Amino acid sequence: MSTILAYDLGASSGRALLGRLTDRSIVTEELHRFPNDPVQVGDRLQWDILRLYHEIKQGLIKTKHRGIELQSLGIDSWAVDFGLLAANGELLANPYHYRDRHTEGVMERVFAEEIGREELFARTGIQFLPFNTAFQLAAMKRAGSPLLREADRFLMIPDLLRYFLTGEKLSEFSNATTTQLYNPLQGAWDAELLARLGLPAAWFGQVVQPGTAAGSLLRSVSGELGVDAIPVIAVAEHDTGSAVAAVPTRERSFAYLSCGTWSLMGTEVDVPVLGERALAYNFTNEGGVGGTFRLLKNIMGLWIVQELKREWERQGLDYSFPQLVRLADQAPAFSAWIDPDDPLFLAAGDMRVRVRDSCSRTGQKPPEQPGEVVRCVLESLALKYRYVLELTESLSGRQFGGLHMVGGGIQNELLCQWSANAIGKPVWAGPAEGSAIGNLAVQWIAQGVFADIWEARRTIRDSFPVRTYEPQNSTAWAEAYDRFKTLTGLG
C-alpha cells in the first residue's frame, strides 16, 4: 500500500487529501479542510500565507495522530500569485491577491511602454488577464514598491509553501508558465522579457517538471511536528494542471472543463499554439504533465455565484448553494444573460447590481429574485462553455465527442446538465476532487508506481464514478445560444 498526501489550495478553501493505492485502485480520504479567506489591509487585498502554512502543518499532525506513514506529499494551488524572499530567505510580505486593484490599467501601459501584445503572446503563449504575474510585478514597479528593492527571490504560492517545508527554492513548470514571464519555446524564463520589464533574472530560479523530487521536510519542521523527513514532490502545482492530469479519459484527444471558482476549458497539446488566431481568441498555453501544454481559456466560473451568496448573507439572507440551485431551476428559462467574462465581474462586490446593470445595458429585463439572478448566471456560463468549446475545436483542429468536467463545480448537477444541453454533446462529470487526485497521480508517477499519466488516468477512471449527462431540449438551447451571442456581442 502506498499512502501519500495532496494539499489542494483553492481561492476560497484548502484541503489535505489522503491517497492510498491498493490493488491498482485509488482510495481517497479528506483528512483536513480549512478556509482560505483573503484579508483586506488598507487598500490592499492579500493572502494570509502563514495561516495556509499553519494549516499544512495541521494536516501533517493529523497523519501523525492517525499513525499514518507517508511516502510523499505535494502541493497545488491557484496560479499567478507569488511571494518575494529577502537575501536571508525570509518572506518580505504577504502575497497580494490577484483580485487586488493595484493592477488596474497596468496591462495597457505595459503594452504601450515595454512590449506589445503580439510580441508578448509570441514569447509566452499566455492569454491576457489584468492580474497575470507579469502585470502584478509591473504594477509594483510603477508604484515604487520597496519590496522590489529588497527582493532576492521570486516564488509562486506552492513553491513558497514548499520552500517553507523543505528550504528548496525551486519553480515548478506548470505554474511558471502562467506568469507570462516564461518562454515555452526556449523552455526557460525569458531573460529578454524580464530585462524589458526591469525585473532581475536572478530572482527566477530553476524550473522543474511535475514529478520532480523537491527535497524532504526540514529537520526543524519534522522535529516541531514530530513526523519523519517526508519527501516532497513538485507536482503539477497549478491546480488546473493537476485537474487535467486527473481527467479520466480513454482518448488521447479530449476536451476538458475544470469547474470551480474559475472555469478553465481546453484541450491537451504537445506544443504550444502561438498563432494569430490563438492571440485573437485570447487563449493560453499553460504547462502540463509529461511536457504537454494545456491550450485553454479562462472563464469567470462560479465566482459570480459565490459573490452573490456572500452579498445575500450580508443582507441577512443565508442561502445555501443547493438552495440557490433549486431556486434557479424554478425560475423562468432564457430570460436574461450576461457575458461572464465581462471585466465588470472580476473584482469582489455586489454582483446582483452588476448582473442587473449588464442586462440593462444590453436591452434585457434585469432579473429580480435570487433564483432569477442565479439562473441568469448559470445559463450564461453554460452558453459560454459552448462558445469556448467551439473556439477550442477551431484552434486545435479537432472535433470532440463530448466534454469532461472535473472539479468541485460538478456537484452543481444543474450546471452539468445545462452544459450538456448548451454544447449539444454529452458531459462526463467526475472526479469532483480533480486537482487533488491529479496531485496524487503525479506523486505516484514520481515514485514509479505508475509508468506515465495514461496509466494513472486509467486507474483514476477505474477508481472514481463518472456521471454522464446527455443533452436535452437541444433545439431550444441552440436558439438560446444564437440570441446569447448577439446580446453579449460574442457573435
Active-site position among 100, 239, 339, 341: 239
Distance CA 460, CA 153 (A): 37
To the nearest 10°, report the CA torsion of 406, 409, 415, 421.
-10
Q: Is the Cβ–Cβ distance between 62 and 16 less than 8 Å?
A: yes
Read off the C-alpha cell for 324.
440557490
Distance CA 291, CA 208 (A): 11
In terms of C-beta density within 10 A (0-12 exposed, 13-18 middle, 19 or more buried), how is residue 80 classed?
buried
Q: Is 226 left (phi over 0), alpha (psi -120 to 50) or beta?
A: left
Which residues does residue 189 pair with via DSSP β-bridges, in sequence order? 182
Distance CA 400, CA 416 (A): 17
Which residue has cell 492571440? Answer: 279
Distance CA 28, CA 19 (A): 5
Distances in Å between the alpha carbon of 40 and those of 29, 81, 143, 351?
33, 16, 19, 19
Q: Which residues contact 134 (CB under 8 A, 6 or more apart)?
A: 110, 120, 179, 180, 181, 193, 197
Which residue has cell 491498493? Answer: 22
Active site residue 341: no
Distance CA 215, CA 165 (A): 9
Quickly list H helices, 300-433.
303-314, 321-330, 351-361, 370-396, 413-423
Q: Which residues contact 425 (CB under 8 A, 6 or more apart)?
A: 400, 401, 402, 403, 471
To the nearest 10°, report the CA torsion of 76, 4, 227, 156.
-10
Residue 110, CB-side half-sphere exposure with 13 Å CA sphere: 31
Q: Is the Cβ–Cβ distance between 410 and 430 less than 8 Å?
A: yes
Q: Which residues contact 313 (CB under 8 A, 6 or more apart)?
A: 319
Distance CA 352, CA 373 (A): 7
Distance CA 309, CA 41 (A): 23
Q: One-letter amino acid identity for 124?
A: T
Read off the C-alpha cell for 187.
523552455
Q: Which residues are catalytic?
A: 239
